């Protein structure tokens, strides 16, 4: 049996851009991606604290140190600039792996920068 377990989380970052004219995805500052153990192309869930929306998409690497959190394509309709979101990824693992696994959570500060 495989379980889907919380793997990574970027807790409470601010949307900096919403680009409707893009195929789809979320662009995330490369520094945040590395700190949260997220990979380009990885599936993520985005939870919008301002309006309760929950969407799924995939990660695109943004410029390191830029603080960018940009919803692209249809996802851009689900948040506004300055909305606060939580970005979560999950991984499949066996129950044995899940017992030992330690997820990564980061808490960026002002302007979506690592503390």
Q: Which tens digit of pLDDT belongs to each residue from 71-103?
A: 999 999 999 999 999 999 999 999 999 999 999
Q: What is the mean pLDDT of residues 51-77?
A: 96
Q: What is the pLDDT of residue 53?
A: 96
> Looking at the domain assignment, is residue 16 inside a domain?
yes
> Looking at the domain assignment, is residue 36 inside a domain?
yes
The active-site residue, picked from 8, 25, 66, 89, is: 25
Which of 70, 65, 1 shows the shortest CA–CA distance to 34?
65
User: pTM for this structure?
Assistant: 0.96
Identify whether 39 is a catalytic site residue: no
pLDDT in tens, 17-52: 999 998 879 999 999 999 999 999 999 999 999 999
Q: What is the pLDDT of residue 79?
A: 95
> Looking at the domain assignment, is residue 109 inside a domain?
no
Identify whether 25 is a catalytic site residue: yes
> Looking at the domain assignment, is residue 49 inside a domain?
yes
> Looking at the domain assignment, is residue 107 inside a domain?
no
> Looking at the domain assignment, is residue 62 inside a domain?
yes
The active-site residue, picked from 6, 22, 58, 90, is: 58
CATH of the domain at 83: 2.40.40.20
How many domains is the chain built from? 1
């Amino acid at each position: 049996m495989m379980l889907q377990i919380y793997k990574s989380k970027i807790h409470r970052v601010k949307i900096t851009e919403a680009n409707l004219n893009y195929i789809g995805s979320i662009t995330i500052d490369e520094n945040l991606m590395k700190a949260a153990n997220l990979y380009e192309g990885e599936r993520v869930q985005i939870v919008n604290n301002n309006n309760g929306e929950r969407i799924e998409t995939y990660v695109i690497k943004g410029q390191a140190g830029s603080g960018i959190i940009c919803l692209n394509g249809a996802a851009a309709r689900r948040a506004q600039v300055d909305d606060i979101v939580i970005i979560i990824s999950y991984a499949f693992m066996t129950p044995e792996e899940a017992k030992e696994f330690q997820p990564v959570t980061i808490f960026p500060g002002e302007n979506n920068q690592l503390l």
